[in-house]
Structure 1
Amino acid sequence: MTATPPRVDIETRMAVHDLLVDEAALLDAGRYEEWLELFTDDVEYVAPIRVTRKTGNPDVVEEICWFDDNRQSLELRVRRLGTPVAWAEDPRSMTRRFVTNLRITANEDGYQVVGNLMLFRSRGDHGRYDLIVGERTDHLRWVAGELKISRRRVLLDQASLGTKNLGIFL
């Protein structure tokens, strides 16, 4: 049996939980500029591709990603959403994010948070919707007294996405 990593104190747990719940609310409300402020300047935000392979072979391809963003590319994506050429998100998707099963451990410069993400996304008036589900690993650290996201890795539970585009943030 492997040792369980040490748990963080309740105040830290609540600060982490509040940050991630607030982040989901900002995204669902389309408040992207405020959402950007939750990230460090050196943020890495990736979603590697998952593949279906026989047992014993890796099922994640780290070199190919659904997206591989840094602070600058996140800012460009947010800015683009405010223009008339963001066709994939005009009108904006109706979304609801569920962030749950958080496992929080302290590390050398902050905290690692592994949790589950479920994203409900509806577009238009057709009654169709997407469910995007996966595991999210966040690295958080304190910057000027605020807890911020310095790295995010999203591993989707699908080898082939059913959604027509990923013009949204996970």
Structure 2
Amino acid sequence: MTGAGEGATVDLATRVEVEDLYYREAELLDERRWEEWLELFAPELEYTAPIRVTRRAPANDIIDDIGHFDETKSSLGLRVKRLRTDVAWAENPPSHTRRLITNVRVRRETGTGQLAARTNMMLFRSRGDHGAHDLIVGERRDTLRREGEAWLITRRVIILDQSSLGTKNLGVFL
């Protein structure tokens, strides 16, 4: 993905369309409307969350070779189907979630007709009645393609702000 300062800026209407896409996505996930959420992605989707480590500068702190997950639209679809069964133990009972999406930055990728977007995300997740919760924070780096009247996400890389996740599982989508 192009960096935050690279590529051409987009007009206000396009930026609002992209922001609306992300707010709709958060709503669909928080309401467990996963089948509708999958429709936001292109068939060739790449959906990854590489591992982040703590290293001395100037070394890269992202390890692309391994990750928390490396998904496709098809594998996400299988996860959604599993969540609708009684064998998705990590999410039974389901988590209560709230996703906050902020700092939406959108650029037009040079020569591709696609958009490069970065968003900051915060996921609050609670389970059970004991008051314990998880807080997962990071940046999502997306590539979007216009498909008719809608934007589809073709690639998502999620860079988490934690080297070690405090959550017991990633049974929810980021």
Mapping for residues 58-73 of structure 1, pairs under 5 Å: 58-73=60-75
Distance (whole Å) between structure 1 residues aligned to residue 63 and residue 140 of structure 2: 16
Matches of 2:63 and 2:170, distance apart in 1? 18
Shift of 1:144: 3.1
Q: Which sections of structure 2, spanning at least 5 residues, go unmatched? A: none
Please give the per-residue CA displacement for 1:64-96, whole angstroms capped at 9, x wherever unaligned: 010100111011111110011100011111000
TM (norm. structure 2) is 0.93
Q: 1:160 aligned to 2:172?
A: no
CA distance in 2, matches of 1:144, 1:83: 34
Does residue 31 of the first structure (1) align with residue 38 of the second (2)? no
Deviation at residue 4 of structure 1 after TM alignment: 6.3
Cα displacement string for residues 11-69 of structure 1 (whole angstroms, at most 9, x for unaligned residues): 10111000000000000000000000000000000000000112221111001010100
Structure 1 stretches lacking a partner, 5+ long: none
**TM score, norm. by length of structure 1:** 0.95
Return the letter of the residue paired with 2:60: P
Q: What percent of counterpart residues are identical? A: 54
* 2:121–2:137 CA contact under 8 A, matched in 1: yes
Show the counterpart of 1:19.
21
Supply the distance in 1 between the matched residues of 2:145 and 2:56 (Cα, whole angstroms): 37
Q: Are residue 145 (structure 1) and residue 149 (structure 2) matched? A: yes
User: Is 1:46 aligned to 2:48, yes or no?
Assistant: yes
Give the paired residue count.
168
Give the Cα separation in 2 of the matches to 1:142 and 1:4. 20
Name the structure 1 match of 2:138. Answer: 134
